[in-house]
C-alpha cells in the first residue's frame, strides 16, 4: 500500500498535469499545487483491484454488445491483467499527474496495449466507474468484517462456556444491583455482535447494486447491457435511475453507521475491562500478551488495548458525520465532493477491522478472570435484597409492602455492620412472621442467580440454553458466509 506521504506535499509530486489528460479544450497546464489538491490517487489506489475487475467486465460487455470486437476485448482484458500483476509485484506506482486510479489505469493500459486501450472508456464515465469500485470494495470488506465478528463471537462463547457458574455482581447505575452469571454478561455482547452481523448483511444488499452503465449521469447512446456487467460482477441488482446511480452514497453512510455501532459495542466492553482491571475492581488481570507498562512507574500494567478501542470509536463516528455532511444538500448528480467519501470509508473499514482483531485477542488470551475475587465480591453486599422481597411476595405479602420491609432491614444492617445472611431467624421473624429457615438458602448468591429462570434471565438453565442457541447461530452465520463464496 502506498503511504499518503509519498504523494502529498513533496516537491517531486508537484508535476504539472499534461494538457493531454483532458480534451483538446485545454491548452495550458494545471497549477502544480492544484493538481495535488485535485488528485485522489494517494488514497484511491486502494481501489485498484476492484477498478481492474470492473474494467474487465466492462470490456467484456462492450464485445458482447458488438461495440468492440472480441480481439479488442481480449487485448483489453489481458492488458488490465498485466497491470494487476505489476501492482501486485509493487511495480505500478502512479504519481499525482494521473489524478486518480481510473485515469492511471487507462494511461498504463494504453502504454501496454496501444491505441485499443483508448476504447475502454467507451460508454462509461469515471462517475459510474468509481461508484462501481467502492461498491465492489465495500462488498468484500463487509464479508471480511462479518467473518471477524464471527471470530469475536466465538471467543465470547468460549469464555462464556467456562463461566456459567462464575457469579459476578451485576450493576445498574454502576451500583451493585443483583448477582449474575459471568456467562450471561459475556453473552450480552454476543447478542450485540449478532445484531451487528445481521445489520451488515442487510446493508450488503444495498451495496450490492450496480451503477455501471449510468455513465456520467444520463446513460449512453451505445447499446450497452447493464444487466450483463452486473451479472459478471455478481451484483444482485442494477440501479434503475442513472442520476441516482452515480450520486448515491447511502450505502456507505449505512456502512459507517453499522461500523459506528460495532465500535459502540466494542467500546462498552473495553470500558468494562478497563474498570475490571483496576485495583478497585480487580475482577480481571491483564496478561502480558495484551498489557503494557509505564515508562516511569515500574509497578504499572496499563489496559492500553481496550483504551485504544474506546478512543478509536471516535474516529469512526467522525467518519460517519463527515459523510453525512458531504452528502447533505449536494445537488444531482456527481460532484467532486464525492471524492471525499473515500478516506472516511477506508479508515472506517480499517479501524473496525483492527479493533475487532485486537478485542478478539484481548478476550481470547489477554484477560484472566479472578474467579476467587468475583466469588467474594457477591457475598459482601446487599445485592440479594430483591430476593428477600421476592421471598415474602411469594408467600402472599404484596411486593411493595415486602420491598419496604426489606428496605428497613437493609438500613438496620448497614447501621450495625451486618449483611443479610448474618441475621438470626428471630430477627427475620421479627420483621415478618412469614420468614422460615429456608430464607438462608434463598439469599445465597447461587440461589439468587439460579432463581432468575425467566426467559432470557441469568438463571443457570437459561444461560445454558442461551449458549446452545449461540453455538447454533454461529454455525448458521458461517453457513451463510460460505454460501456467498
Q: Which is nearer to ligand ARG, 216 or 264 (CB)?
A: 216
416 φ/ψ angles, rounded to the nearest 5 degrees: -100, 10
Using the rule CB under 6 A, is 310 a contact of ligand ARG?
no
Residues 263, 235: Cα–Cα separation, whole Å:
28
Residue 48 interacts with ligand ARG (CB under 6 A)? no
Residue 168 has phi, psi (to 5 degrees) of: -125, 160
Cell numbers representing residue 34 in the block: 492544484
Residue with smaller CB distance to ligand ARG, 43 or 189 = 43
Question: Which of 262, 234, 260, 382 has its CA nearest to residue 322?
Answer: 260
Q: Angle, nearest 10°, between helix axes 399-416 and 385-394?
A: 140
Q: Which is nearer to ligand ARG, 103 or 160 (CB)?
A: 103
Q: Footprint of ligand ARG on residues 322-341 (CB under 6 A)? A: 334, 336, 338-339
Query: Which residue carries 465470547 as its cell?
Result: 156
Of residues 5-44, those binding ligand ARG (CB under 6 A)? 40, 44
Q: What is the 3 state secondary structure string of 219-240?
A: CCCCCCCHHHHHHHCCCCEECC
Q: How far is the CB of 103 from ligand ARG (least distance, A)?
A: 8
Output 276 or 334, the one with its CB closest to ligand ARG: 334
Residue 127 near ligand ARG by CB under 6 A: yes
282 assigned to active site: no
Q: The C-alpha cell of 469 is what?
A: 442457541
Residues in region 129-148 near ligand ARG by CB under 6 A = 130
Q: What are phi and psi of 237, to 5 degrees?
A: -150, 175
* Residues 224 and 67 sit within 8 Å (Cβ to Cβ): yes
Which residue out of 23, 173, 295, 416 is catalytically annotated?
A: 173
Instruction: Quote the least distance from Cβ 40 to ligand ARG, whole Å.
Output: 4
267, 385, 414, 416, 433 from 411: Cα distances, Å: 37, 11, 5, 9, 19
Least separation in angstroms between residue 23's CB and ligand ARG is: 13
Nearest-approach distance from CB 266 to ligand ARG, in angstroms: 30
Residue 180, helix vs strand vs coil: strand
Q: Which is nearer to ligand ARG, 8 or 339 (CB)?
A: 339
How many residues in the shown chain lie near ligand ARG by CB under 6 A? 11
CB of 5 to ligand ARG, least distance (A): 20
Nearer to ligand ARG, 216 or 361 (CB): 216
Give one DSSP letter per residue of 123-148, joined into a string.
Answer: T--HHHHHHHHHHHHHHHHHHHHHHH
Q: Smallest gap, in angstroms, from Cβ of residue 102 to ligand ARG?
A: 6
Binding span for ligand ARG by CB under 6 A among 20-28, 124-132, 171-179, 438-446: 124-132
Cell representation of residue 455: 426467559
- 193 exposure class (CB count in 10 Å sphere: 0-12, 13-18, 19+): buried
User: Considering only 125-133, 265-273, 347-355, 363-371, which stretch makes contact with ligand ARG by CB under 6 A?
Assistant: 125-133
Identify residues 155-174 at the interface with ligand ARG (CB under 6 A).
none
Question: Contact, 180 vs 167, CB < 8 A?
Answer: yes
Q: For 209, which DSSP code? A: E
* CB closer to ligand ARG out of 136 and 273: 136
Measure the CA–CA gap between 207 and 250, rounded to whole angstroms. Answer: 9
Candidate list 75, 83, 96, 100; residue touching ligand ARG; CB under 6 A: 100
Q: What is the largest CA-CA distance in the chain?
A: 102
Residues near 161 by beta carbon (within 8 Å), at least 6 away in sequence:
183, 467
> Is 173 a catalytic site residue?
yes
Binding letters toward ligand ARG, positions 337-376, x by CB under 6 A: -xx-------------------------------------
Return the number of the residue (130 or 356) whose C-beta is nearest ligand ARG: 130
Catalytic one of 18, 78, 278, 294:
294
Q: Which stretch binds ligand ARG (CB under 6 A): 123-131, 161-169, 293-301, 375-383?
A: 123-131
Enumerate the active-site residues. 173, 294
Which residues sit at the interface with ligand ARG, rule CB under 6 A? Answer: 40, 44, 100, 102, 126-127, 130, 334, 336, 338-339
Amino acid at each position: 500500500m502506498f503511504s499518503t506521504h509519498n504523494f502529498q506535499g513533496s516537491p517531486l509530486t508537484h508535476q504539472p498535469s499534461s494538457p493531454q489528460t483532458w480534451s483538446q479544450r485545454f491548452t495550458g497546464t494545471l497549477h502544480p499545487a492544484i493538481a495535488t489538491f485535485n488528485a485522489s490517487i494517494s488514497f484511491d489506489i486502494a481501489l485498484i483491484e476492484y477498478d481492474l475487475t470492473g474494467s474487465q467486465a466492462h470490456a467484456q460487455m462492450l464485445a458482447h454488445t458488438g461495440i468492440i470486437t472480441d480481439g479488442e476485448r481480449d487485448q483489453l482484458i489481458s492488458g488490465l491483467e498485466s497491470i494487476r500483476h505489476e501492482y501486485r509485484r509493487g511495480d505500478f506506482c502512479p504519481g499525482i499527474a494521473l489524478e486518480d486510479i481510473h485515469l492511471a489505469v487507462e494511461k498504463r493500459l494504453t502504454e501496454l496495449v496501444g491505441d485499443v486501450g483508448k476504447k475502454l472508456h467507451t460508454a462509461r464515465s469515471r462517475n459510474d466507474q468509481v461508484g462501481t469500485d467502492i461498491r465492489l470494495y465495500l462488498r468484500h470488506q463487509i464479508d471480511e468484517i462479518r467473518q471477524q465478528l464471527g471470530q469475536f463471537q466465538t471467543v465470547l462463547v468460549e469464555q462464556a462456556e467456562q463461566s456459567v457458574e462464575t457469579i459476578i455482581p451485576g450493576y445498574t447505575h454502576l451500583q451493585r444491583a443483583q448477582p449474575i452469571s459471568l456467562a450471561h454478561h459475556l453473552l450480552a455482547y454476543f447478542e450485540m455482535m449478532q445484531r451487528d452481523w445481521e445489520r451488515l448483511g442487510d446493508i450488503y444488499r444495498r451495496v450490492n447494486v450496480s451503477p455501471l452503465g449510468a455513465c456520467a449521469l444520463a446513460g449512453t447512446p451505445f447499446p450497452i447491457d447493464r444487466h450483463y456487467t452486473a451479472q459478471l460482477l455478481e451484483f444482485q441488482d442494477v440501479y434503475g435511475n442513472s442520476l441516482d446511480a452515480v450520486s448515491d452514497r447511502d450505502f456507505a453512510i449505512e456502512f459507517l453507521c453499522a461500523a459506528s455501532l460495532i465500535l459502540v459495542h466494542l467500546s462498552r466492553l473495553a470500558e468494562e475491562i478497563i474498570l475490571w482491571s483496576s485495583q478497585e475492581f480487580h475482577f480481571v488481570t491483564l496478561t502480558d500478551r495484551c498489557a503494557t507498562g509505564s515508562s516511569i512507574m515500574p509497578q504499572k500494567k496499563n489496559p492500553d488495548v481496550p483504551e485504544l478501542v474506546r478512543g478509536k470509536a471516535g474516529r469512526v463516528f467522525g467518519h460517519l458525520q463527515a459523510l453525512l455532511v458531504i452528502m447533505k444538500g449536494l445537488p444531482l448528480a456527481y460532484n467532486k465532493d464525492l471524492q471525499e467519501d473515500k478516506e472516511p470509508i477506508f479508515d472506517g473499514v480499517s479501524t473496525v477491522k483492527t479493533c475487532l482483531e485486537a478485542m478478539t485477542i484481548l478476550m481470547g488470551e489477554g484477560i484472566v478472570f479472578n474467579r476467587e475475587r468475583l466469588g467474594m465480591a457477591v457475598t459482601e453486599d446487599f445485592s440479594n435484597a430483591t430476593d428477600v422481597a421476592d421471598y415474602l411476595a411469594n408467600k402472599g405479602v404484596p411486593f411493595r409492602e415486602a420491598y419496604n420491609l426489606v428496605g428497613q432491614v437493609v438500613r438496620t444492617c448497614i447501621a450495625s455492620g451486618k449483611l443479610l445472611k448474618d441475621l438470626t431467624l428471630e430477627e427475620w421473624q421479627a420483621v415478618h412472621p412469614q420468614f422460615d429457615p429456608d430464607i438462608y438458602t434463598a439469599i445465597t448468591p447461587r440461589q439468587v442467580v439460579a432463581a432468575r429462570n425467566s426467559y432470557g434471565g441469568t438463571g443457570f438453565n437459561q444461560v445454558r440454553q442461551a449458549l446452545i442457541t449461540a453455538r447454533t447461530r454461529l454455525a448458521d452465520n458461517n453457513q451463510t458466509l460460505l454460501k456467498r463464496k
